[in-house]
Amino acid sequence: MAIAVIDHRSADAPALLAASLRSTGFAVLVNHPIPPELIATVQREWLAFFDSDAKFDFLPAPGHQDGFHPLSVAETALGADAPDLKEFFHWYPWGRHPEPLDAASAELHAQASRLGAEVLGWVERSTPPEVAAGFPMPLAPMLDGSTRTLLRILRYPPLTGDEPAGSVRSMAHEDVNLLTVLPAATDPGLQVRDVHGSWHDVPGDPGSVVINAGDMLQLLSGGFYPSTTHRVVNPEGEAARRSRVSTPLFLHPADQVELAPGVTAFAFLRERLRRIRGIELAEA
């Protein structure tokens, strides 16, 4: 499974990225505009936050997603029997969050959002006309006015050996959103499954950004861009004794955008959250 590693500055980057999304659901960008030192700062600051008790001051209100989601309520992927080994914070510009971490987090949210919008433009321009004709509107403007685009800061804690049988850092799943922008995590572990059921490591060198299609883009494109199953596996050796921090940005359309006749982005997201986490999403 050949996930393309693409130089953001190259003239053929748009076509190469769209082709990789088409064939694998994933692509990797290097020499992109997000400063590596910004990514490192966010990961370092949030690891210290997760290691403190201050995180428990930010538990989400009923029906809301912003704030800290502890290990005790970790997600269980659809079809899985064991919960993921992770805790995370949902950072939205409008949400509650620890002020000392705001500057770097807000900047990463903004820069990853700009990169994601640019990539959506690339995808649209590189999509065959007969597929693009099914888009109800241009892809990047679907983000205008959205309050759902989410910076999720994940911490996968060190393994102790006492984890529930069958648990891994993140079970096999697909992303719900339009497009995911994922700066390289502090350690490897991300894998993607091919059509034959085999798993492959996703390139994640420091400074790179992984791009992958979500369920919403798959629906909009009639399956042309697949939302590919992926997971985060448990490490071995020294890596098992340290935390892994990951900072994906999930690009979401505005609530009223129609992904298919009669299916809005809000309705689609609300139904998925009911199935995955058993919660009722509050309207914006």
Tokens describing residue 199 = 């798993």
Could you tell me if 177 and 216 are in contact, meaning their C-beta atoms sit under 8 angstroms apart? yes
Per residue in 77-130, pLDDT (tens digit) is 555 567 889 999 999 999 999 999 999 999 999 999 999 999 999 999 999 999
What span, in angstroms and rounded, lies between the C-alpha atoms of 59 and 69? 6
Per residue in 20-76, pLDDT (tens digit) is 999 999 999 999 999 999 999 999 999 999 999 999 999 998 878 899 999 877 665
pLDDT computed for residue 79 by the predictor: 55
pLDDT computed for residue 83 by the predictor: 80
Nearest to 168 by CA among 277, 50, 86, 47: 86
Q: What is the DSSP letter of 85?
A: S
- Calculate mean pLDDT across residues 246-253: 98
Q: What is the DSSP letter of 277?
A: H
Could you tell me if 111 and 34 are in contact, meaning their C-beta atoms sit under 8 angstroms apart? yes
What span, in angstroms and rounded, lies between the C-alpha atoms of 278 and 75? 10
Provide the CA 123 distance to its chain's centre, in angstroms.
17
Tokens describing residue 210 = 């992984």
Domains, the chain, ordered by start: 5-277 (2.60.120.330)
pLDDT computed for residue 100 by the predictor: 95
Residues in the chain, overall count? 284
Q: What is the mean pLDDT of the chain?
A: 93
**Is the pTM for the entire model greater than 0.85?**
yes
- Which CA distances in Å does 248 have to 1, 4, 132, 152, 183? 22, 19, 26, 6, 7
Q: Is the pLDDT of residue 224 over 70?
A: yes
Provide the CA 277 distance to its chain's centre, in angstroms.
16
